[in-house]
Amino acid sequence: MTTGDDAGPIIQLGASERLGARPALTARELADLIGVSQSTVSRAFSKGTSVSPKTRAFVLEQAEKLGYRPNVIASFLSRRASSIVGVVTADFTSPVYIDMLDRLSVRMQELDIHPLLFNLQAGAEAGDQLAVLRQYNIETVIVISGRISHMSVARWAADGRKVILMNRDIPDAAIGSVRCDNSASSLVADHLWEIGLRRVAFVGGPESSAVSAEREQAFVRRVAELGMILCGREGGREYSHQSGFDGTRAVMASRPEAILYATDRLAIGGLDALSWSGGLSVPGDVSIVGFDNIDMACWPGIQLTTVHHDVPRIVDGAIELLQQIQNGREGPRKHLVKGGLVVRATTGPAKA
């Protein structure tokens, strides 16, 4: 039995679907169909143009009905600009950056702005990417990564691209940024002080990381103010679980009562070293604190005390900046989002 002549297509599609395979309607065709000029169609679809509300409504209604949508490629060419936004990433292993990318890309789509993904490897540098940005007429670039060099960012900006940095900043008025307030790590010192701990240590990320440095600095300062003792300090080569694990083993030599980590991932590596693989009690033997409040931090078996990193609000800020830039509006270009301490089960008084 064949399905060709009697059963019809196997997948049932509506009429408009079936037409799909034929080339999309153009503005000219729509214009001819509904009896207006092609430029009127174009104007109906762009805001800030002089069309009578009536004609615009008519055109949009007919377009909807006949399935017309402006071809953005032609529009980009004509306008010499594109609504594509470059999104630069490099840290797919960081839950926080992934979360940002997730939420950001969803929000962008709602606004009909589409993200072209530039996922840079360790080696890649600005030059190559810049050429691509130009080829696509991309005006705006959002950087979700701590690993792209400042130099790269500066070059994009110098080339006239608008740059929005997530989670970092370069002191330059032309470059927007939205970051969490890393100085919130001082709250950790207060918390540890209150539960009676005095000897503390810090385990950080790579020495080159500004995020780690800022979190450390605010913590160390508050520790000193409170008269607590910073007995140990370790850096790592990366922000990995293993790095947190190793850093913890190393820092334990100084017998701290509590350890602050630059990120939750490091802290969970520490939990592994101390508890899962180490046989110590957390917080009985040592308290540990992370930073970021990633999903994993509230798993039943983890319950990590940490500093909340408000990703949704950071993404809100980036979207706002994006619209501000695209509309040529003025306004503050640097956003700082506050976090707060989330106390869970990995901090507590030392056991007697």
Instruction: Report the helix count and the strand count for the chain, using DSSP H and E.
Output: 13, 12
Q: What is the DSSP letter of 257?
A: S
Q: Which residues pair with 162 in a beta bridge?
A: 140
Question: Looking at 209-217, 229-237, 274-282, 312-320, which segment touches a copy of itself (CB under 8 A)?
Answer: 274-282
29, 34, 115, 229: residue in contact with a copy of itself (rule CB under 8 A): 115
Question: Looking at 2-10, 69-77, 93-101, 303-311, which segment touches DNA (CB under 7 A)?
Answer: 69-77
Question: Which residues have C-beta within 8 Å of that of residue 259, sequence separation ≥ 6?
Answer: 200, 201, 202, 203, 232, 248, 251, 267, 270, 286, 287, 288, 289
Q: Interface residues for DNA in 209-268 (CB under 7 A)? A: none
CB of 91 vs a copy of itself, minimal distance in Å: 9
| E strand or H helix that includes residue 101 | helix 95-110
Classify residue 2 by burial, with Cβ atoms within 10 Å: 0-12, 13-18, 19+.
exposed
Q: Is 42 in the site for DNA (CB under 7 A)?
A: yes
Q: Is 136 in the site for DNA (CB under 7 A)?
A: no
CB of 135 vs a copy of itself, minimal distance in Å: 5
33, 34, 116, 343: residue in contact with a copy of itself (rule CB under 8 A): 116
The helix, strand and coil proportions of the chain, stated in percent and rounded to the nearest 5, come to 45, 20, 40
Binding characters for DNA, 74-103, by CB under 7 A (x = yes): xx-xxxx-----------------------
**Torsion-angle region of 129 (φ positive above 0: left; ψ -120 to 50: alpha; else: beta):** alpha
DSSP 3-state assignment of 86?
strand
Q: Which residues bind DNA (CB under 7 A)?
A: 23, 26-28, 36-40, 42-43, 45-46, 49-52, 54-56, 68-71, 74-75, 77-80
Q: Which residues bind a copy of itself (CB under 8 A)?
A: 11, 13, 17-18, 20-21, 23-24, 69-74, 76-77, 80, 82, 84, 87, 92-93, 98-99, 101-102, 105-106, 109, 112, 114-119, 121, 130-132, 134-137, 154-155, 158-160, 241-242, 245, 269, 271-273, 275-277, 295-296, 299-302
